Amino acid sequence: MITTLYRIIKYGINGFLRNSWLSIATLSVMVLALFVFLSLIIFNVLTANALDILKDKIDISVYFQGDVPEDEILKIKRSLESLAEVKAAEYISRDQALALFQERHQEDETIVQAINVLEENPLSASLNIKAKNPNDYPVISSYLNNENLSKLVDKVTYNQNQLVISRLTTIIETVQRSGLGLTVILSIIAVLVTLNTIILTIYASRDEIGLMRLVGASNKFIRGPYLVQGVIYGLIAAVLSLVLMAPLVSFASAYVKVLMPEMGLQSYFYGNLLSLFGYQALFGIILGAVSSLIAVGKYLKI
């Protein structure tokens, strides 16, 4: 068994080295296929981060009547946080609201003077609420508009922001579906191109496969070296695809930082290099090995 395995690996490596031009052509196609696969991984990471940032920008606010005690508002805050749909609820007191308003309009002298003229704080205490999913805001809005809270609540901003939230929700869902569809389509194309390339590569060895069958070699022994070659293609292509991606990531990182300051593309790439290599190697080995087995099987049936 060990001798047979040794011979299979030896013949596989020899076949890879002997057919250098065919090996280079096959490797080139596999590198491109894995490069596409890696690009899709990074694209999905960027898309997921962009959608998370977009979701974080969506919220609704509930403003309370001026005479509602703070303890009552905090009680409502705790009840909101107990809802499965609510991600976070932030309490902003009247004093905090005034300080934020003054900071936001500190360069507008008219507003600053108007605030100073007023003897009391005109702003209301409020809760800023973020949902776990943008589709949950109608549920949260219904909870805030119930009869028990009607005497305490002055205004819920969901009605004013409903159109914007709906559009953003539609954008998020469309991007997610498009990203999944793009991943599936490009992955299928990469697999088909690689499969056809390996079939053409093994086509050059069809006479050798025929001779091995004539001398009584088993199908497993015939398949073995080509399976080894497929694994070699996959491993080398995984390394080369990462090498090709590294300068592109470094170049694109600055532009991504401008659009998404929270996302460090370069730090993500190098911080997850081993994981990315693992995905690439696994995909490459499966792609190379399965393509080789399919291609060889075609000539074993003749």
How confident is the prediction for the chain on average, in pLDDT?
Answer: 78
pLDDT at 213: 65
What DSSP character marks residue 215?
Answer: T
Residue 126's SS3 state is strand
The pLDDT value recorded for residue 16 is 63
Q: Which pLDDT tens digit goes with each residue over 58-116? A: 788 888 887 888 888 899 899 888 888 888 888 988 888 878 777 776 776 676 666 66
Is the CB of residue 27 less than 8 Å from the CB of residue 194?
Answer: no
Beta strands in 98-235 (DSSP E): 126-131, 153-156
- pLDDT of 204 reads 62
pLDDT at 27 over 70: yes
In the predicted structure, residue 300 carries a pLDDT above the cut 60: no
Tell me what pLDDT residue 240 has.
92
260's tokens = 């998404």
What is the reported pLDDT for 94?
A: 82
**Helices and strands counted in the chain (H then E):** 11, 4
What confidence score (pLDDT) does residue 8 get?
Answer: 63
Cα distances (Å, whole numbers) of residue 89 to 6, 68, 98, 223: 64, 18, 19, 62
Which residue type does 74 have? L
| SS3 assignment, position 124 | coil
- Count CB neighbours of 225 within 10 A: 24
Q: What value does the mean pLDDT take over residues 275-300?
A: 80
Q: Which of 62-66, 128-132, 147-151, 242-246 has the lowest mean pLDDT?
A: 147-151
With pLDDT > 90 as the criterion, what percentage of the chain qualifies?
A: 3
Name the class of domain 66-151: alpha beta
Domain boundaries, the chain: 2-54+170-300, 66-151
Is pLDDT of 35 > 80? Answer: yes
**Residue 165, pLDDT score:** 67
Q: Is pLDDT at 243 greater than 60 in this prediction?
A: yes
pLDDT for 217: 63
| pLDDT of 160 | 63
- Confidence band (pLDDT; 50, 70, 90) for 157? confident
More confident residue, 284 or 217: 284
CA 179 vs CA 47, 143, 176, 268: distances in Å: 8, 34, 5, 19
List pLDDT tens digits, range 178-227. Answer: 777 777 787 777 777 777 777 776 666 666 666 666 666 666 766 777 77
